[in-house]
Amino acid sequence: MMRIGLFLLTNLAVIVVFSIVFGILSRFFGVGGVHSAGGINYASLAIMCGVYGMVGSMVSLFISKWMAKRSTGTVVIEAPSNATEQWLIDTVAKQARAVNIDMPEVGIFNNSQPNAFATGWNKNKALVAVSSGLLQSMTADEVEAVLAHEIGHVANGDMVTLALIQGVINAFVMFFARIIGNFVDRTVFKNEGDGPGIGYFVTSIVMDILLGFLASAIVMWFSRLREFRADEMGAKLASRDKMISALDALRPAEQRPDQMPESMKAFAIASGQSTGFSIANLFRSHPTLDDRIAALRKYNPSEA
């Protein structure tokens, strides 16, 4: 459940690179047709931002599994070497069949905290990985529920939906960043030429980063909603009691310093959340454990 942080960082990096490349092409080679003697061509700008925004999001999606493996040191189980690995493979295979998806890759990463994630560019090319700490601290029933939760993310197509949402957000971020950049270039830097000046490029890149960060609150809101859905899938595939027990077992992990890579914290199953409203909570990827458990107690898998 740790893929969102990595996805967002990768996406932002791609957008900034695209911004620099497009700026160079526009400034020195006249490619893009966004600027003219009268200022910005808003129609051309909207088309450019839409295309670049979706491309940036899709690139992030397609490399998400590779980046997740690299940043966590996940070792994919090619041939089970012990009973635990065999059980993991068998459990994920059973759950994948139950939701009619292809068998994901299964891996283990070295981390003393109980964590897990699922990622991949589509539901039939996914990776499900658990930490060594999760295997050591949870019962088999609880691990089964965590795996079912991750399979829920895969089966629900959360990564693809996230990429589409992020693509639209990217387009708006890039569009308004360039409008602000043009305003600063013309009014602050007094650029009266036909093309963009240095003020436009610097401001646009800064605003790409700032607006991209602020807009991530929308993605985090989406993430919180999808956590409830994945919990429901965990309850359906394992059992409600097992899923509740697994969430409850995460409470001690919330009290310890997080050992996950910074880029992967947002989708960690042990992500701790503060209660009550605060600005920081707008950027949280997970609901509180109390909220998730309360929602599960109201959920009846047999009626779903």
Report the catalytic residues. 150
**Structure tokens, 170:** 């990217």
**Structure tokens, 81:** 């070497």
Q: How many residues does the chain have?
A: 304
Helix or strand holding residue 129 (H, E): strand 127-131
CB atoms under 10 Å from CB of 258, counted, come to: 17
Task: Give the per-residue SS3 of 8-57.
Answer: HHHHHHHHHHHHHHHHHHHHHHCCCCCEECCEECHHHHHHHHHHHHHHHH
Helix or strand holding residue 118 (H, E): strand 116-119
Q: Are 123 and 154 in contact (CB under 8 A)?
A: yes
| Sheet order of strands, 127-131 included | 75-76, 105-109, 127-131, 116-119
Could you give phi then psi for residue 35, rounded to 5 degrees?
Answer: -100, 145
